[in-house]
């Protein structure tokens, strides 16, 4: 991904990548159409689902086969004391015209999950 179109913030996790992925999933699960750590493709009907959940991070897509309302990325990098991560959307928050509440719920849910798990954020914005 590399280029941050709409950066949400970064974080430092004292946990392994595997444990941090569990924290990430718990932070986004409420916004998913089916709250399961299952990776899938958009369907005919619009929904919010995971399209990536692996050691490189997590991606959430809102939309259907035809229209993508937004994509939310978290990229992970291992460190000696756990891992670090960057979170960003594929577009500015103001350019999200459908399901903005879900977009805000993703960043807010992650913020709460981070607080519960001793993950430190840097420059984290919820909206």
In whole angstroms, give the CA distance from residue 104 to residue 69.
13
pTM of the model: 0.92
Q: Which two tokens stand for residue 111?
A: 């913020």
Angle at 35 between CA 89 and CA 57, to 5 degrees: 40
pLDDT level of residue 127 (50, 70, 90 thresholds)? low
Helix (H, G, I), strand (E, B) or coil at 7: strand
Q: What is the average per-residue pLDDT within 82-97? A: 92
Q: DSSP string spanning 43-90?
A: -SS-EEEEEEEETTEEEEEEE-SS-EEEEEEEEEEEETTEEEEEEEES
Give pLDDT tens digits for 28-76: 999 999 999 999 999 999 999 999 999 999 999 999 999 999 999 999 9
């Amino acid at each position: 991904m590399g280029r941050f179109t709409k950066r949400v913030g970064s974080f430092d996790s004292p946990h392994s990548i595997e444990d941090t992925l569990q924290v990430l999933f718990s932070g986004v699960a409420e916004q998913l159409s089916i709250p399961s750590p299952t990776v899938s493709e958009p369907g005919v009907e619009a929904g919010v689902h995971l399209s990536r959940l692996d050691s490189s991070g997590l991606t959430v897509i809102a939309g259907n086969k035809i229209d993508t309302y937004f994509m939310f990325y978290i990229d992970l990098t291992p460190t000696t004391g756990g891992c670090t991560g960057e979170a960003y959307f594929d577009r500015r928050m103001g350019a999200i015209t459908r399901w903005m509440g879900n977009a805000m719920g993703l960043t807010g849910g992650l913020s709460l999950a981070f607080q519960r798990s001793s993950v430190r954020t840097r420059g984290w914005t919820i909206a």
